[in-house]
Each structure stands twice: as structure tokens, then as C-alpha cells.
Structure 1
Amino acid sequence: MSFTGNYELESQENYEEFLKAIGLLSAKTDSKVQTEVLQDGNDFTWTQTTPNWTWSNKFTTGQECELLTMTGSKFKAPVSMEGGKISVLFPQYLFTAEMVNDKLVMKCITPGEKGVTFTRVSKRTSDCKTQHA
């Protein structure tokens, strides 16, 4: 199933706990996160937006890619896709995303015994028709 689409936050679990675990509790927002995913084969553009913030990454599954953290720091990591699930090891957490019943399910998992699993479920609001420059 293609990831391409526009998504609106439907539910999330452990949001505050996750932000606290990675030291970004001050970035907490009550705005609904909008996610836009453009997929062309193994190439992705993934953008998340709130009224005061936009975060975007372009990557190719199966390759090491230069990515941005939520704070704008650059890092390199391999991006994999197995069984329809995207996985990327960010500096402070493991990010996974998959389509489940036409919903985008993203998880961010901090390491360690007391690790936090943040889950965000977003419903598809439309298909993407535009490409970003």
C-alpha cells in the first residue's frame, strides 16, 4: 500500500512523555499535526506541519540518507523498509511508520529499560496531487 497522501492526527499516546524523554517538552503543541507523504517507488518526501512549525525529510528506502531531526540538526542514517514498515534510527529514538487500514501509524521509541514508545495515528484526508520543489 502506498504511503502517499495527506493525513490529520487522529490519536496519539505518550506524546508528552516522549518529548520529555528527548528533551523537547517545550516544543509541545496542542495543534493537530498534518502529515504529507509523497512516495515514488522507494523515494519519499515526508512533511509534518503545525501552525508554527514545518519539518520535512526526503529519503530513499534501502539507502543511507541525510535527514533532519525535529530541531533541524542534520544526521545520516540508513532508511529501511521491510514488510511495508519504514524504519529510521534517529539520534535519540527509533522511528517507524506503516499503513494500517488506510491509517498512517508512526512510532518513536526511545532506547533503554525505561524507554518511551510514542504512537501517532493519522487518518488520510486526501491523496497528494502536488510535488514539492
Structure 2
Amino acid sequence: MAFSGKWETESQQGYDEFCKLIGIPDDVIEKGRDYKLVTEVVQNGDEYSWTQHYPANHSITNKFVIGKECDMETIGGKKFKATVTMEGAKLSVRFPNYHHTSEVSGGKLVEGPVVLIRTSKKI
């Protein structure tokens, strides 16, 4: 039940780039940059209710069971089907434009899209 509880943003890296990736307008990015997002997680075994509370009283709740396809919604309101998996101690799910992981590390909820890092050798 490591994920259960309320979590408030402490720090973030790559906020602007991520928001642009998912199509959030510049004025909304500016307004939300310093907002302390609250994530509320209720975990009951493999069943989760994951709510994120955004500015202007906007919240999104995604409910899922590990390993089972479910209906999900993005911050922009796009609905899609996905399967959340558990990889070690990390929750993992593919959103339309990115791969999202969540884990509890050092007593903190760490979330983020997995970014492509390409390394090439000279030929």
C-alpha cells in the first residue's frame, strides 16, 4: 500500500517541455508552473483510484486494476484505453504521447514520463 495517501508537489523538472508535449497552451503552462499539485491515491491490493487535483478546482480521477485494461483520461480530457502494469515497485502506463511511471522512493512519490535518450557511436 505504498502509494496510498495524499502527495503534494515538492519539485519538478522539465515541466514546460512536458506540458508542451501534451499540448497545454503557454498561458496555462505559466499559470500552473508553481502550483502545488495534490495527488490522492487510494490503493486496495491491485485496485487503485488515482486523483490529481489541478488549479481552478479541476480534478481527474483514473481508476484501474493492475494488468487489466481500463478507461483513462488525460489532463486535457482525452479519453483512452490503457493497461497499468507493475514493473518491480513502479507503476507503468502508456499515455497517448508518453510513457508514465510512478514509484515511491525515499518516502516520496516520484512520477514522470520516460524520455527517449538515444546514444549513437561514430561509424
TM-score by length of structure 2 reads: 0.84
Which range is displaced more, 62-71 or 104-113? 104-113
- Contact residue 21 and residue 110 of structure 1 kept, 8 A: no
Deviation at 1:72, TM superposition (A): 1.4
Question: Per-residue CA shift, 1:79-126, capped at 9, x if unaligned?
Answer: 10021100000001101000101100001135686xxxxxxxxxxxxx
CA RMSD of aligned residues (A): 1.7
Q: For 1:102 and 1:54, locate their aligned partners in 2 and report how far apart those are by CA, in whole Å.
A: 24
| Consecutive aligned runs of 4 or more in structure 1 exceeding 3 Å deviation | 109-113
Q: The residue matched to 1:10 in structure 2 has which SS?
A: coil
Among 104, 109, 115, the alignment partner of 2:109 is 104
Within the candidate set 42, 49, 52, 2:46 is matched to 42
Secondary structure at 1:17 match in 2 = helix
1:81 counterpart (79, 82, 86): 86
SS, match of residue 36 in structure 2: coil
**Which residue does the alignment assign to 1:15?**
15
**Relative contact order, higher structure (CA 8 A, sep 6+):** 1
For structure 1, which runs of at least 5 residues remain unmatched after alignment? Answer: 114-133
Count of equivalent residues: 113
- Distance in 1 (CA, whole Å) between partners of 2:84 and 2:21 is 23
**Sequence identity percentage:** 45
Structure 1, residues 35-86: CA drift from partner, whole Å, max 9, x if none? 1000000000001112312111001111111101111121101110021100
Sort the Cα spacing of 1:111 and 1:71 in 2 relative to 1 into closer, same or farther, 3 A. farther
Matched position secondary structure for 2:16: helix
Tell me which residue corresponds to 2:72.
67
Contact conserved, 1:42 with 1:60, CA < 8 A, in 2?
yes
CA distance in 1, matches of 2:117, 2:104: 27
Specify the SS of the correspondent of 1:12.
coil
TM-score, with structure 1 as normaliser: 0.78
